[in-house]
């Protein structure tokens, strides 16, 4: 898969802002400890061989948003995982989640195309042993009213890449997240962790590849290790998106 840039025009920005107003599903966070989720989008092979291993060494689990149609392909983040990696994640107790089959831009596609691509991905993952998908992340983080309308009843949470914290009242159909990516990804994640800990919020972190020399969309194993350690020190409950949604009373 070649590098692709979602619509970052003024029109695209306005569409994403307007989409926040409709097809909302406000959630209620439980009182107590703040929560944090470590997510991996697209699931390059290194997200499993390196990323999942880091989580497991710390005794925690993450959410991996799989595009089954990328199996066998190589992109800017390296080779993508496939059936073997998905089985590995399931056997280790991680959450395998949905990211469309073809890495479809849900901000540009029509409702019927989105629904068909998501169902194709769900069928592929069901064949690999994950029959019930609870969590979804919009590829490229791009969202539209059509996407929210057709997917809001299909998944417990729909996650974007727009930075922010999840609080009581946040829209489960358009949840914010913070990327661990780029040269300042770790520092940015740490800053948001501090905000989340102080406000008792839920923070969804995401990255892509995990390797010593990551792509601009990935991080190093060391950065991931340090973030997990800091999350524990700050008193976060480390949960998958499915677990966090259940604590917020969201389940499909």
pLDDT band at 136 (very low <50, low <70, confident <90, very high): very high
More confident residue, 1 or 152: 152
- Alpha-carbon dihedral angle through residues 12, 14, 16, 21, given to the nearest 10 degrees: -160
Do residues 155 and 252 touch, judged by C-beta distance below 8 A?
yes
What average pLDDT does this structure show over 203-208? Answer: 98
> Is 5 a member of any domain?
no
> Is 12 a member of any domain?
no
Which two tokens mark 50? 């390196």
Least confident of 10-24, 98-112, 142-156, 224-238: 10-24
What is the three-class DSSP state of 184? coil
Q: Which residues pair with 136 in a beta bridge?
A: 98, 158
Return mean pLDDT, the chain.
Answer: 93
The enclosing domain of 46 has a CATH number of 3.20.20.370
| Alpha carbon 71 to chain centroid, angstroms | 18
> Is 18 a member of any domain?
no
> Is 77 a member of any domain?
yes
The residue range of the domain holding 58 is: 34-247
Gyration radius from the chain CA atoms: 16
> Is 4 a member of any domain?
no
Segment 19-59, tens digit of pLDDT: 776 789 999 999 889 999 999 999 999 999 999 999 999 99
> Is 29 a member of any domain?
no
Domain count, the chain: 1
pLDDT band at 14 (very low <50, low <70, confident <90, very high): low
> pLDDT at residue 163 above 60?
yes
Q: pTM to 2 decimals? A: 0.94
Give the ranges where the chain is alpha helix by DSSP (H): 10-19, 45-46, 53-57, 83-92, 111-127, 145-151, 185-199, 221-233, 241-247
> Is 13 a member of any domain?
no
Which two tokens mark 62? 């993450």
Segment 69-107, tens digit of pLDDT: 999 999 999 999 999 999 999 999 999 999 999 999 999
> Is 222 a member of any domain?
yes
């Amino acid at each position: 898969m070649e590098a692709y840039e979602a619509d970052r025009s003024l029109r695209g920005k306005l569409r994403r802002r307007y989409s926040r107003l409709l097809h909302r599903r406000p959630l209620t966070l439980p009182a107590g400890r703040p929560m944090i989720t470590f997510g991996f989008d697209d699931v390059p092979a290194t997200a499993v061989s390196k990323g999942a291993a880091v989580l497991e060494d710390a005794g925690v689990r993450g959410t991996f948003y799989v595009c089954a149609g990328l199996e066998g392909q190589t992109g800017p983040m390296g080779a993508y995982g496939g059936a073997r990696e998905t089985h590995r994640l399931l056997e280790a107790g991680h959450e395998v989640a949905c990211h469309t089959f073809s890495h479809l831009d849900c901000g540009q596609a029509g409702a019927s195309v989105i629904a068909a691509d998501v169902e194709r991905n769900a069928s592929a993952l069901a064949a690999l042993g994950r029959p019930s998908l609870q969590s979804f992340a919009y590829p490229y983080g791009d969202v539209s009213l059509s996407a929210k309308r057709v997917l809001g009843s299909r998944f417990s949470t729909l996650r974007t890449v727009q930075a922010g914290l999840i609080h009581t009242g946040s829209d489960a159909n358009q949840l914010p997240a913070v990327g661990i990516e780029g040269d300042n990804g770790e520092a940015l994640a740490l800053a948001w962790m501090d905000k989340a800990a102080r406000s008792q919020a839920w923070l969804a972190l995401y990255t892509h590849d995990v390797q010593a020399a990551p792509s601009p969309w990935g991080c190093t194993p060391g950065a991931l290790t340090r973030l997990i350690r800091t999350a524990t020190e700050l008193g976060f409950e480390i949960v998958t998106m499915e677990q966090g949604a259940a604590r917020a009373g969201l389940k499909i």
